[in-house]
Structures are given as structure tokens and as C-alpha cells.
């Protein structure tokens, strides 16, 4: 079901931690190396009504990074995504003085280099000072989730983390909650401006009319087509892309609407205060969720020419088939205990 967010609270410390988090690309990350550009806060307040122009941003960035740019495109109203072919140039862009002079800020989106997974059924006999809840939320530095992690030499499977779909019970739109709503309140039965007296709604004796899809149900109904379309969160989580890109890919019904429910809110995973476990040495993990090997049906037809076969099999991301240089940054071992300092949040079912 959609989450109304009425009781959601994010602590000041969490907000500060997210604001101070500076991400950079490493050698284990794969191209394209995406950097987002937005207006600085002081400039944004003066230009709230105007969109950030991709051409204006391109004029600034190409002055120092012309050869390393693959693509520049809008990613929302006031955000521009720049795709670099070189990780060093992507990292250099984050603090380049030309951006500061233009009133712009560059940052790397966390979804591009951090992966979030959920571990279930953590035994309750473990001390609460170590793990207080049976379901644990873990952030991994890397572009792929490991199949499992180890705690006390015990392997726990890792599954993708899908955030809940938010709906605002004021304007009845998806993607935010009442606390962040800037629109006028609407009636949940007719979709028009909220009535001073609920009984004044013209559809009080009729089935409700969803303002998001036009169907005869409440906007919060879990079978609403508009709600199912919000499953783009699953696409973004699995494919490691932004919500804007995921939305553009889902022209029809989401292919993930039949996934088993696995939705949480970050507030349900309070931070661990401390750990009694001494730090363990880092391990060279070798068991990541890498690409699925080519099946016999996907092998090139021997009747085709070499040029035709090779062009049809060329990887789209510019990276050849798995090699040491293309391995994900984070790797996991199925035969050795993990460094468990990745545990940062937990939750009890």
C-alpha cells in the first residue's frame, strides 16, 4: 500500500550526514560516469521559476572537459546529467572552479555507486548491541549487490531494497508526503478542490473517482494503474538508474508489478550506535552478482558473417565481456567472513 508519511521523522543528524556525504568514482566503477549539475542554493532562490538550461551548463563544462563528455541531458527541472567517459574528469568536475563561478554545484548521484540490500531472518539470540532487529538494511560501495554476506561465519542472502511508494494525502499525487507538498488540497472522492464540508462532495453517494487515473476507486488504492506505474522504483533499484530514467523506460505497465512485497522506509532502520566486534581485515571478494553467461540461444549463428555476429553482440556500455578490469568494485566471498562494517541500519519485522 502507498505510504502516507504522516508519522515519518528524519533526525537532524541523518540530514546532516547525507548533506556532508561526498561521493567519487573509483577504478572499479563502470562507465558512463554520471555527474549531476544543479544551481547553488543562493542562485536557486533567485531563479525558482526558470529551468536550468542544458546548453548553458554545456557551455561551462565543455570549456574544460570537451573530449571526455559522452552526453549532456536534463534530468528533472533543475538538474542536468553529464555522462563522462573518464572517471578522473568526472571527479575533477565536482570541484572545478568554473562551476562555482557560474553558480553551479556538481555531485555524483548515490544510486550510481551505492547499492542497498536487505537481509532477513537475523537470529534474535544475537546481542542487541550487535544487531537489534531481524531485518537489516545494508549499503554497499559498488555497482552490484553481492549474493550474500557473512556474519559470525554464517551466510545471509541479500535481496534488493525497494523503497515504499509515497502518496500525498493533501494533493493526492505520488512521490512526496504532506510535509513537502506545495499544491492545494484535493477531495479524494472527486479529485477537485477540497470541500469545507466532506458531505458537500458531489460523489458522496457515488463511487470515488481517482484523480490520477480516472478509475472508480480512491487514489490510494493499491490496484490503481498510477500506483502500479510507481513501481519504477523497482526498475531504478535493480538497474542502478535514476527515477527519471526509469520512468522513461516504463512506457507500459511495469514488469515488476508482481514482485513480492519488499518495501520499507529508511526511518524503519535506526542507526546502530556502536559495535563490540573488532574490525576484520578486508577480503578480496570474488563472488559478485556478475553478468549472466551467454546461453546457447544467444550465441552467434555460425551461418552469419563475423562482422554481423560481432556487431550484434557488442555490449551497449562500451565495456567488453567480463575481464579483470571490468569486474565490479565490491566483491563477495562465499568461503570467508565479510568485514561487517557495512551494517548501518536495522529493522524489526
Residues 21-41 have a mean pLDDT of 87
C-alpha cell at 58: 554545456
Of 72 and 152, which is predicted with more confidence? 72
Rounded Cα gap, residues 98 and 90, in angstroms: 14
Q: Categorize the per-residue pLDDT at 185 as very low, low, confident or very high, splitting at 50, 70 and 90.
A: very high
- Residue located via cell numbers 487515473: 213
Task: With a cut of 80, say whether residue 12 has pLDDT above it.
Answer: no
Domain ranges of the chain: 33-112, 114-160, 178-250
Task: With a cut of 80, say whether residue 263 has pLDDT above it.
Answer: no
Highest mean pLDDT among 75-89, 217-231, 273-287, 329-343: 75-89
Residues 297-316 have a mean pLDDT of 45
Q: 36-61 burial, b for 16+ CB within 10 Å, e for fewer?
A: bbbbeeeeeeeeeeeebebeebbebb
DSSP 164: P
Q: Which CATH number fits domain 33-112: 2.20.28, 1.10.3470, 3.30.70, 3.30.700?
A: 3.30.70
DSSP 298: G
Task: With a cut of 60, say whether residue 293 has pLDDT above it.
Answer: no
At 341 the pLDDT is 40
Task: With a cut of 80, say whether residue 30 has pLDDT above it.
Answer: yes
Task: With a cut of 70, say whether residue 218 has pLDDT above it.
Answer: yes
Give the H/E segment covering residue 344.
strand 343-347
DSSP 153: T
CA angle 315, 313, 259 (to 5 degrees): 65
pTM value surpassing 0.85? no
Of 303 and 139, which is predicted with more confidence? 139
Give tens-digit pLDDT for 112-150: 888 878 888 776 566 655 555 677 778 888 777 888 888
Amino acid at each position: 500500500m502507498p505510504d502516507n508519511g504522516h508519522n515519518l521523522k528524519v533526525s537532524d543528524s541523518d540530514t546532516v550526514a547525507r548533506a556532508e556525504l561526498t561521493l567519487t568514482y573509483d577504478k572499479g566503477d563502470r562507465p558512463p560516469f554520471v555527474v549531476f549539475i544543479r544551481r547553488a542554493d543562493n542562485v536557486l532562490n533567485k531563479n525558482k521559476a526558470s529551468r536550468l538550461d542544458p546548453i548553458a551548463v554545456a557551455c561551462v563544462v565543455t570549456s574544460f572537459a570537451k573530449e571526455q563528455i559522452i552526453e549532456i541531458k536534463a534530468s528533472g527541472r533543475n538538474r542536468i546529467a553529464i555522462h563522462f567517459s573518464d572517471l578522473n574528469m568526472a571527479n575533477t568536475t565536482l570541484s572545478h572552479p568554473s562551476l562555482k563561478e557560474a553558480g553551479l554545484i556538481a555531485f555524483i548521484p548515490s544510486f550510481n555507486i551505492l547499492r542497498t540490500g536487505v537481509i532477513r531472518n537475523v537470529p534474535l539470540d544475537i546481542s542487541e548491541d550487535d544487531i537489534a532487529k531481524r531485518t537489516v538494511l545494508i549499503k554497499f560501495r559498488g555497482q552490484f549487490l553481492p549474493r550474500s554476506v557473512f556474519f559470525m561465519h554464517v551466510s545471509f542472502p541479500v535481496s534488493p531494497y525497494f523503497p515504499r511508494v509515497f502518496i500525498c494525502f493533501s494533493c493526492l499525487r505520488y512521490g512526496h508526503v504532506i510535509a513537502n507538498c506545495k499544491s492545494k488540497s484535493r477531495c479524494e472522492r472527486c479529485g477537485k478542490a477540497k470541500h469545507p464540508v466532506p458531505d458537500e462532495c458531489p460523489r458522496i453517494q457515488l463511487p470515488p473517482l481517482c484523480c490520477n487515473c480516472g478509475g472508480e476507486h480512491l487514489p490510494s488504492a493499491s490496484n490503481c494503474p498510477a500506483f502500479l506505474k510507481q513501481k519504477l522504483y523497482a526498475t531504478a533499484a535493480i538497474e542502478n538508474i535514476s527515477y527519471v530514467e526509469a520512468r522513461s523506460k516504463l512506457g507500459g505497465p511495469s514488469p515488476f508489478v508482481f514482485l513480492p512485497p519488499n518495501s520499507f522506509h529508511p526511518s524503519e532502520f535506526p542507526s546502530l550506535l556502536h559495535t563490540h566486534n573488532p574490525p576484520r581485515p578486508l577480503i578480496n571478494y570474488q563472488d559478485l552478482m556478475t553478468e549472466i553467461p551467454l546461453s546457447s540461444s544467444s550465441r552467434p549463428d555460425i551461418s552469419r558473417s563475423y562482422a554481423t555476429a560481432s556487431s550484434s553482440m557488442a555490449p551497449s556500455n562500451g565495456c567488453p565481456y567480463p575481464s579483470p578490469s571490468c569486474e565490479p568494485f565490491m566483491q563477495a566471498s562465499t568461503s570467508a567472513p565479510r568485514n561487517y562494517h557495512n551494517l548501518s541500519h536495522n529493522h524489526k519485522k
